[in-house]
Amino acid sequence: MRRPHLKTPAAVAVLVLTAAVALILLAVGIDPAVAVPAGLLFAVLVLWVTSRRAAAMVLGSIGGRPALIGEFPRLHNVVEGLCHTHGIRKPALWVLDSPSGNAAAVGDRRSAAIVVTTGATDLLSLIELEALMAQALVRCRDPHLADETLGAVIARVPGASFITSRFNDTDRTVRTDMAGAEMTRYPNGMQWALEALAELGTFVKGFRAANAHLWLIQPDGAVDTATAIHPTIELRVDALGEL
């Protein structure tokens, strides 16, 4: 397992678990020279197990279901076309029964999955759906996705606001939008997709704050830049206009 960077949620989890276990062992009379290494070993083991289950845990908390080809043929055709054109491994596709328009990327170091609301699959035009899926595929290829997914699990312990702040990067979101637009070779499509999603509403019922950073657009409907972890649709659309 890769050594966690000190600023990552994984490192925070290791430090917290190590300290907790070491304190318990010290309280029962274990020598510090044994208690601290034992705490560290336990923390790394727990983190390793959690990292392998993080994607499944997050998908379960989102509450979606696998997108069957027979039920969502257009979604599969769009994603398969993009993956074939760009040599990308097709991620697992899930849907969340919701009239809103949003999507999330979840993954570990072995595989990735895209969760998209049925409002988006049913109501977006083909160009808009392709743009949305291109943006999601860019997220799936991001080397930080595994850390973000693990962070969604860890966030339930030290606090969601602390974890999600690590992934709150307006520039990065805009760059991802642009990369998705370049994948489709049609920047207007990404602009139209963002505007269409805003019209549908991006609120995801039952969403957890710990998962907010995994969604492509603010999932609680917040527009206040002081509380939202995603940049506004207007800012993203304007940035795409520079392409």
Examine the pLDDT at 180 and tell me if it is beyond 60: yes
Instruction: Give pTM, 2 decimals.
Output: 0.80
Residue 198 lies in a domain: yes
- Count of all residues that appear for the chain in the document: 243
15 within domain boundaries = yes
Q: What's the pLDDT at 177?
A: 94
CATH number of the domain that 222 lies in? 3.30.2010.10
Query: How many H helices and E strands in the chain?
Result: 10, 4
Residues 193 and 95 grouped into a single domain: yes
Same-domain check for residues 42 and 69: no
Structural domains counted in the chain:
2
The position carrying tokens 């849907």 is 95
Same domain, 88 and 141: yes
> pLDDT tens, 188-207?
999 999 999 999 998 888 77
Same domain, residue pair 77 and 175 = yes
| Tens-digit pLDDT profile for residues 86-144 | 999 999 999 999 999 999 999 988 889 999 999 999 999 999 999 999 999 999 999 88
Whether residues 44 and 79 share a domain: the answer is no
For the sheet with 112-117, list strands across it: 65-66, 92-96, 112-117, 103-107
Asked whether residue 209 is assigned to any structural domain, the reply reads yes
In a domain, 4, yes or no: no
Domain span at residue 222 reads 58-240
- Are 95 and 25 part of one and the same domain? no
* Residue 183 to residue 58: CA distance in whole angstroms: 27
Say whether both 121 and 67 belong to one domain: yes
**Structural contact between residues 130 and 116, judged by C-beta atoms closer than 8 angstroms:** no
